[in-house]
C-alpha cells in the first residue's frame, strides 16, 4: 500500500522553522531532532480552543494544519500538532511515521486509544517524539530502549516494553502514556480526532486547555484559570471574561483571536 503522507514545500519548511524560532541548519540527525522538538514545545502551544468553542469539524489535511499553526500562529491538539510536525520531519529526510498512543491517567483506568505520536528511526535506533501532549512529554527524542532512564531539561523519562510490544512511557515513576511502533496512515486519525472533538461528552468539548512550555517553567489555561510556573513557583489567576481570556492568550501564548468569534468562557 502506498503511503498517503504529504510533504511540505520549501516555502512551508522555511516558514515553519521561523514559526518555532529554529535558527540552526535543519539536518536529519538526532541533534537536530532534539532541537526541533524543544523549539516546538516552547513556541507552539497545545490548545483546544476550536474544539471547545465548536469550530468543527477539524481538518487534519497538511495544508490546513500549516495554515492554522504556522500562518495563523495558532496551536492545536495532538492530531494537529504531531500531524504537521511529522510532515516537517519527513520533508527534512527523517525516517518517521505516526504511532497510536493510549493516555494513562490511573493504573486501573484503561482508556481508548486517543493520542497521536511519532516514531523516528535514526541509524536503526527508534525514538518516540511528541509535540502534541500539552506538557508532560519529553522536550526531546526518547530512545526506545527498555528500562533506559533518560533526562530532558531536568525531567526523567523511562520507556518500558511489555509482553505485547507496547512501550509504557514513565515520567519519574508514573506511567503516562503507552505507544507502539506500528506505522499508521494519516486517515487512521480522522475517526480518532472526531471521537475526541465531536462527541458532546468528549473532554476537549467541555474544558478549555492551553499549555506552553517556557525556558523556566510553563504557562497554561485550565478551564477558567490561568496558571504560570516560573522556576518552580506557581501562580494562579481566575479568568472572568472573554476579553481577559483574549488578552492572556495574546500576551502569554502569542495567540490572537477576535473576541466576537468566540463565546463565553
The residue annotated as part of the active site, out of 39, 40, 41, 130, is 130
Q: Which of 186, 217, 242 is the last residue of a domain?
A: 186
- Shared domain check, 159 and 46: yes
Please check whether residues 114 and 177 belong to one and the same domain. Answer: yes
Q: What is the pLDDT of residues 20-60, one digit of tens each?
A: 999 999 999 999 999 999 999 999 999 999 999 999 889 99
Count the domains in the chain.
Answer: 2
Residues 144 and 31 placed together within one structural domain of the fold: yes
Q: Are both 171 and 212 inside the same structural domain?
A: no
For residue 118, tell me if it sits in a domain.
yes
Catalytic residue among 115, 139, 196, 218: 115
Residues 44 and 174 in one domain: yes
Could you tell me if 182 and 206 lie in one domain?
Answer: no
pLDDT of residue 2: 46
Note whether residue 196 is domain-resident: no
Q: Would you state the cell numbers that stand for residue 50, as one nine-digit string?
A: 476550536
- Do 58 and 174 have their domain in common? yes
Q: Is the pTM of this model over 0.85?
A: yes
Residue 219 falls inside a structural domain: yes
Same domain, 80 and 29: yes
Indicate the SS3 state at residue 171. strand
Q: 67 an active-site residue?
A: no
β-strands 225-230, 150-152: how paired? unpaired
Identify whether 110 is part of a domain: yes
- Kindly state whether residues 217 and 161 are assigned to the same domain: no
Among residues 40, 41, 78, 139, which one is catalytic?
A: 78
Cell of 170: 514513565
Position 194 in a domain: no
Measure Cα distances from 184 to 99, 189, 214, 218 in Å.
Answer: 6, 8, 31, 31
- Give residue-wise pLDDT tens across range 188-211: 999 999 999 998 888 899 999 999
Q: Is residue 54 located within the same domain as residue 173?
A: yes
Encode burial over 119-143: b for 16+ CB neighbours within 10 A, e otherwise.
bbebeeebbbbbbbbbeebbbbbbe
3-state secondary structure of 115: strand
Question: Is 197 domain-assigned?
Answer: no
Q: Are residues 234 and 149 in the same domain?
A: no
Query: 101 catalytic, yes or no?
Result: no
Model confidence pLDDT, tens digit, residues 121-162: 999 999 999 999 977 899 999 999 999 999 999 999 999 999
Note whether 154 and 221 are same-domain residues: no
pLDDT per residue as tens digits for the range 88-124: 999 999 999 999 999 998 777 788 999 999 999 999 9
Residue 1 in any domain: the answer is no
User: Does 139 map to a domain?
Assistant: yes
What confidence category does residue 260 fall into, taking pLDDT thresholds of 50, 70 and 90?
low
Range(s) of the domain holding residue 79: 10-186
Q: Answer for the pair 212, 219: CB distance below 8 angstroms, yes or no.
A: yes
CA angle 190, 168, 96 (to 5 degrees): 50
Q: Look up the CATH number of the domain holding residue 79.
A: 3.30.2140.20
In whole angstroms, give the CA distance from residue 264 to residue 242.
6
Q: Please say if 78 is a catalytic residue.
A: yes
Amino acid at each position: 500500500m502506498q503511503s498517503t503522507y504529504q510533504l511540505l514545500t520549501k516555502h512551508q519548511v522555511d516558514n515553519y522553522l521561523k514559526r518555532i524560532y529554529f535558527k540552526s541548519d535543519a539536518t536529519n540527525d538526532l541533534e537536530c531532532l532534539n532541537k526541533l522538538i524543544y523549539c516546538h514545545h516552547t513556541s507552539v502551544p497545545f490548545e483546544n480552543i476550536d474544539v471547545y468553542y465548536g469550530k468543527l469539524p477539524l481538518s487534519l489535511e497538511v495544508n490546513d494544519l500549516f495554515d492554522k499553526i504556522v500562518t495563523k500562529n495558532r496551536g492545536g491538539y495532538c492530531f494537529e500538532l504531531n500531524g504537521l510536525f511529522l510532515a516537517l520531519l519527513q520533508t527534512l529526510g527523517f525516517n518517521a511515521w505516526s504511532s497510536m498512543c493510549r493516555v494513562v491517567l490511573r493504573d486501573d483506568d484503561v482508556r481508548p486509544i486517543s493520542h497521536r505520536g511519532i516514531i523516528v528511526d535514526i541509524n536503526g535506533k527508534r525514538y518516540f517524539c511528541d509535540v502534541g501532549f500539552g506538557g508532560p512529554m519529553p522536550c526531546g527524542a526518547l530512545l526506545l530502549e527498555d528500562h533506559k532512564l533518560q533526562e530532558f531539561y531536568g525531567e526523567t523519562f523511562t520507556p518500558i516494553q511489555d509482553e505485547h510490544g507496547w512501550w509504557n512511557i514513565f515520567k519519574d515513576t508514573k506511567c503516562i502514556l503507552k505507544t507502539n511502533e506500528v506505522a499508521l496512515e494519516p486517515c487512521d486519525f480522522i475517526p480518532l480526532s472526531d471521537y475526541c472533538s465531536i462527541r458532546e461528552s468528549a473532554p476537549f468539548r467541555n474544558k478549555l486547555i492551553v499549555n506552553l512550555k517556557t525556558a523556566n517553567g510553563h504557562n497554561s489555561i485550565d478551564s477558567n484559570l490561568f496558571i504560570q510556573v516560573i522556576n518552580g513557583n506557581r501562580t494562579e489567576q481566575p479568568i472572568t471574561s472573554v476579553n481577559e481570556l483574549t488578552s492572556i492568550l495574546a500576551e502569554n501564548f502569542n495567540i490572537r483571536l477576535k473576541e466576537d468569534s468566540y463565546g463565553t468562557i
